[in-house]
Structure 1
Amino acid sequence: MQSTPIPRYLGLDVGSKRIGVAVSDELGLTAQPVLTLLRKRNPKDDLRSLARLCRKYDCAGIVVGNPLHLSGELSDRAEKTQIFANELALLAKLPLYLWDERLTTREAHAILYEAGKSREEHKPLVDQVAASLILQSFLDAPR
């Protein structure tokens, strides 16, 4: 008896300088940090790199952190993120899920402190951890 494979998702924490990347495991239970992509001068280069990661991990969808204000209103960054996310979804030909990312960076810093990492060690990791938190929240949400 052959079972239907669980879809994998790419999770992103999109910033102006870095993009944290995470992917769900083959069981669809946990989000795993993958890498921190340093943004290129040309956003199309970033889009192509992320689309390649979608293919590499055979993703069924893209979950992008939506940076809202604490009030829930769209921030200036949210508009830019949504435009970027929509371009990626079109390029990768995958469904896009914008996911509330409020306070994930703060939570990511707390996790890294708990793990014994100094503030200097956070920079290359914090975006990956934030992407994992965003994706994990998506995976845990009832569908």
Structure 2
Amino acid sequence: MIIMSVDLGKARTGIAVCDKTEFLASPYTVIFEKSQKALPNKVAQAAKDVKAELIVVGLPKNMDGSEGECAQNARAFAETLRELTGIETVMQDERGTTVTAHNFLNTTNTRGKKRKNVVDEVAATIILQDYLDSRKNGLK
């Protein structure tokens, strides 16, 4: 099944995808969009372009596991995306993914503007890989 993930951001939204084998998540693109009205349509178009059969949306929980305003916004976004695309959407805890993405970019010595432009894409890849791993282990 082709699965696409979304790392929702205020200005940049990272997109990652895996192929039908569900083995490895790969970065796909970053959508630069500040309008919360326009963003769902752009993400829906990306889902159509990659022929996604399932969409995983990162759920930004607080470190104690509670859900705040950002998590509520992510859930609402996922529902809007499901309505627009007709594709099942699921939530994936994304705690720590941005930190992990920055650590990865440190090891690859990615700096400056390039780093800012790819960190969301890398975070989306981590979200998707975490989801794929949990499916393999029978947790999803």
TM-score by length of 2: 0.91
Q: Quote the residue 1:49 is aligned against.
A: 42
2:78 aligns to what?
85
Between the aligned residues of both structures, percent identity stands at 31
Question: Is residue 28 of structure 1 aligned with residue 22 of structure 2?
Answer: yes
Matched to 1:97, the amino acid is V
Matched, 1:101 2:94: yes
Greater radius of gyration (CA): 1
**Aligned with residue 10 of structure 1, among 4, 8, 13:** 4
How far the C-alpha of 1:25 sits from its partner, in A, is 2.0
**Structure 1 residue 65 corresponds to structure 2 residue 63:** no
- Segments of 5+ residues of structure 1 without an aligned counterpart are 1-6
Instruction: Please say if 1:125 is aligned against 2:118.
Output: yes
Structure 2: which amino acid aligns with 1:54? Answer: A
Amino acid at match of 2:92: W
How many correspondences in the alignment? 136
Q: Which moved more, 1:21-30 or 1:95-104?
A: 21-30
Conserved? CA contact 2:53–2:87, under 8 Å: yes
User: In 2, Cα distance between the equivalents of 1:118 and 1:54?
Assistant: 29
Q: Distance in 2 between matches of 1:63 and 1:53?
A: 13
Q: Which segment is superposed worse, 117-126 or 94-103?
A: 117-126
Q: CA RMSD in A?
A: 1.2
Asked whether the equivalents of residues 10 and 34 of structure 2 are also in contact (C-alpha less than 8 Å), the reply is no
Instruction: Give the distance between the partners of 1:71 and 1:17, measured in 2 at CA.
Output: 26
Q: Deviations over 1:8-52 (max 9, x none)?
A: 1110100111110001123211111011111242x3321111111
Q: More displaced, 97-106 or 43-52?
A: 43-52
Shift of 1:121: 2.9
**Distance in structure 1 (CA, Å) of the matches to 2:81 and 2:8:** 12
3-state SS, counterpart of residue 97 of structure 1:
strand
Give distance in 1, aligned partners of 2:92 and 2:37: 22
